[in-house]
Amino acid sequence: MTALPQHAAIRLRNLTVAYRGHPAVHHLSGDFAPGSLTAIVGPNGAGKTTLLAAIMGRVSPVEGEVQRAAGRIAWLPQQVEIDRSFPIRVFDLVALGHWSRVGSLRGLDAPQREAVHHALDAVGLAGFERRGIAELSAGQFQRVLFARVLLQDAPVILLDEPFNAIDARTTADLLAVVARWHAESRTVIAVLHDLEQVRRHFDRTLLMARRCVAWGPTAEVLHAEHLFRARQMAEAWDDDAALCEEAA
């Protein structure tokens, strides 16, 4: 991995990523600065989640690269990716945030157990430790996932649709957690759909439609002309085009 300059926590260089053989992210280049708070927006199928997966290293580029500064990256997936029927308690799911430091063979010591309780208290779930995750509402479960991210204490945090299908109070509480991360100079990147929410809470935005439409200060990016261009680009997608040779 190439060393990054101090002004970049993550650098994308001509990044192209395919999903099921079809390009989902095209020739994307740019930097996420350390401590920046960036929303990723765009039409459905624009490659937003695929981009997060590439930053995490979960998918490999067919062209270009992702350069990452040293340090852990915390990932909050969409709820639909998690099997809520798995028999695990809230405490144990949050404790997985210690995984990178503790591993699977060691038990938690007293400070680590206290950190789990503190994380749950920070997201408004004190007293929920012994509940099974299947018993939780969507909003409560999202608070649990945020608590796990809190425990990871990572300098870079990726959030995939973190406020989708949850109530307004939970959204407000979790946005306050995001604001705290930003105040702590963590780099936060979130895939979002609510543009008014982006305008109110995120100072930088990447608007993409598989390719970059605009990337910069939110007020400039979410201009009507850019949003119209993103819709036009989405309408022109040909999902029956030939597969990428590298991914076929």
Residue range 76-99, pLDDT digits in tens: 999 878 888 889 999 999 999 987
List strands edge to edge, sheet with 22-32: 22-32, 10-19, 63-68
Query: Is 206:39 a contact under the CB 8 Å cutoff?
Result: yes
Indicate the residue type of 112: Q
Question: Does residue 180 carry a pLDDT above 50?
Answer: yes
* Average of per-residue pLDDT values in the chain: 90
Question: Does residue 143 carry a pLDDT above 70?
Answer: yes
Question: Does residue 246 carry a pLDDT above 50?
Answer: no
Q: Is position 220 within any domain? A: yes
CA 191, chain centre distance (Å): 6
Task: Give me the domain span that covers residue 205.
Answer: 1-71+189-243
Question: Could you give the number of structural domains in the chain?
Answer: 1
Q: Is position 58 within any domain? A: yes
Q: Where are the alpha helices (DSSP H) in the chain?
A: 48-56, 90-95, 99-102, 110-122, 138-152, 168-183, 195-201, 218-221, 224-235
Q: Is position 53 within any domain? A: yes
Q: Is position 83 within any domain? A: no
**Residue 51: Cβ within 10 Å count:** 27
pLDDT classification of 247: cutoffs 50, 70, 90: very low
Q: Residue 70: what pLDDT?
A: 74
Question: Does residue 12 carry a pLDDT above 90?
Answer: yes
Q: Is position 172 within any domain? A: no
Q: Is position 237 within any domain? A: yes
Q: CA 163, CA 178: separation in Å to the nearest integer?
A: 11
Question: Does residue 102 carry a pLDDT above 70?
Answer: no
3-state class (DSSP) for residue 89: strand
Residue 85 sits at φ, ψ, to 5 deg, of -85, -5
pLDDT classification of 51: cutoffs 50, 70, 90: very high
Q: CA 15, CA 204: separation in Å to the nearest integer?
A: 20
Question: Does residue 6 carry a pLDDT above 80?
Answer: no
Query: Is 152:11 a contact under the CB 8 Å cutoff?
Result: no
The CATH code of the domain that includes 6 is: 3.40.50.300
Whole-structure pTM value: 0.90
Q: CA 154, CA 76: separation in Å to the nearest integer?
A: 12
| 207-245 pLDDT, tens digit each | 999 999 999 999 999 999 999 999 999 988 866 555 455
Q: Is position 143 within any domain? A: no
